[in-house]
Amino acid sequence: MYIESPKNPKVQAWAALKTNKGRTSHPAYLAEGARLAVEALQSDRHVEALLFDVAANDDYGRLRQLAQARSVAVHELSPHAFATLSDTVTSQGVMAVVAIPPSPPRYPAYTLVLDGVQDPGNVGTLLRTADAFGVPEVCCSESTADAFAPKVIRASMGGIFRVSVHRTDTASYIRDWMKQHQDGNVVITEADGSTPCHEIPFTHPTLVVIGSEASGVSDAARALASVEAYIPMTARTESLNAAVAGSIVLYESYRQRQSISP
C-alpha cells in the first residue's frame, strides 16, 4: 500500500510512536534501519508493519521476503511521509513497527536494574550487553530513559528484541526479586565499594543495579544492597561511563558463571 501524505492517519499514528506519550497510548515502537528490521522479523516479537521509503537506494528483497513469510503488512511511503518518522540523519529508508510485548516480571536468577540511567545511548548499550551476557530481563526504573525511544532501540542493536524490559520502581522490583531468591545478592557498584567486582559471588543468584550517570544508585537501592562492589582502577579517575561500568560487571558475572575463570 502506498502512502503519499505525511498527514495520512496511519503515518500520524506511527509518528506518535516516537514519543513516550504515543507509546503509552499504543504500545509499539519504531525500529529504524535494515539491520534492526531484519532482527525484528527474525525475533519472536510481533511486527505490526514494515515501512519503506520509495526513494530508498535498495529494494530490500530479503526484508520483503521475511515480511511476507510472517504475513507482516508492508507500506511504501513517499520520502516526505517517511521523513516524519525517521530519527536518523542519513536514513536507510526502512523501519519496522514493533509491538511492545506485555512483560510481567519473571525475576530471573541473573537480572539487571537500571536505576536512573539517563542517557538513551547508555540504556541501549546496556540492553545490548545484557543480551550478549545472557541476562534475560532488565528492569528500568521510572527515572531511567524510556527503553523504547528511537535512540535506545538503535543503540541496543537488536538486544531490545531478545531481552524482556519491565518498567517499575527500583525498590519494588528488588524486594520482589529477593522473595524469589532468598540466597541471592543485590549488587551495587560504587567508587568506594568494598568488594572488587571479580570477587562478587556470582555463583548465587544476582541482581545488578546500575545507577545514574551523575549521582549513582538511588537511596532505595543502596538500602537494599547486599554487595557494594567497585571496579578496580587507577585512583585518578572518578568513574567509568555508566554503560561501561555495568558491562564490566555483567562480563564478570558471565565469565564466572561459565566457569571459564582460571
By DSSP bridging, strand 110-115 and strand 185-189 are unpaired
Query: Nearest 5°: phi and psi at 63?
Result: -60, -40
Q: Residue 182 or 237: which CB sits closer to a copy of itself?
A: 237
DSSP 153-189: HHHHTTGGGTSEEEE--HHHHHHHHHHH-TT-EEEEE
Residues 35-74 that bind a copy of itself (CB under 8 A): none
Q: Yes or no: say if 229 and 189 are a contact pair by the CB < 8 Å rule.
A: yes
Q: Residue 250: how many CB atoms within 10 A of its CB? A: 23
Q: Taking CB under 8 A as the rule, does residue 222 contact a copy of itself?
A: no
Nearest-approach distance from CB 51 to a copy of itself, in angstroms = 24
Q: Taking CB under 8 A as the rule, does residue 258 contact a copy of itself?
A: yes
Kindly tell me which residue out of 92, 111, 125, 185 binds a copy of itself, with binding defined by CB under 8 A.
125
Kindly tell me which residue out of 16, 132, 171, 220 binds a copy of itself, with binding defined by CB under 8 A.
132
Residues 254, 256, 257, 258: is their CA dihedral positive or negative? positive
Q: Residue 73 or 233: which CB sits closer to a copy of itself?
A: 233
Q: Residue 81 or 120: which CB sits closer to a copy of itself?
A: 120
Candidates 11-19, 68-76, 129-137, 202-210: pick the segment binding a copy of itself (CB under 8 A).
129-137
223: which 3 cell numbers?
538500602
Q: Taking CB under 8 A as the rule, does residue 105 contact a copy of itself?
A: no
Candidates 54-62, 99-107, 152-160, 217-225: pick the segment binding a copy of itself (CB under 8 A).
152-160
Q: Taking CB under 8 A as the rule, does residue 171 contact a copy of itself?
A: no
Q: Percent helix, strand and coil across the chain, each rounded to 5? A: 35, 20, 40
Q: Residue 11: how many CB atoms within 10 A of its CB? A: 22
Kindly tell me which residue out of 11, 98, 145, 157 binds a copy of itself, with binding defined by CB under 8 A.
157
Largest CA-CA distance found in the chain, in angstroms, rounded:
61
Kindly tell me which residue out of 22, 116, 150, 159 binds a copy of itself, with binding defined by CB under 8 A.
159
3-state secondary structure (DSSP) of residue 124: helix
Residues 224-253 that bind a copy of itself (CB under 8 A): 231-234, 236-241, 243-244, 247-248, 251
Q: Which amino acid is at 36?
A: L
Q: Residue 48 or 213: which CB sits closer to a copy of itself?
A: 213
DSSP 239-254: ---HHHHHHHHHHHHH
- Residues lying near a copy of itself in the complex (CB under 8 A): 121, 125, 128-129, 131-134, 155, 157-159, 162, 196, 198-199, 231-234, 236-241, 243-244, 247-248, 251, 254-255, 258, 260-262
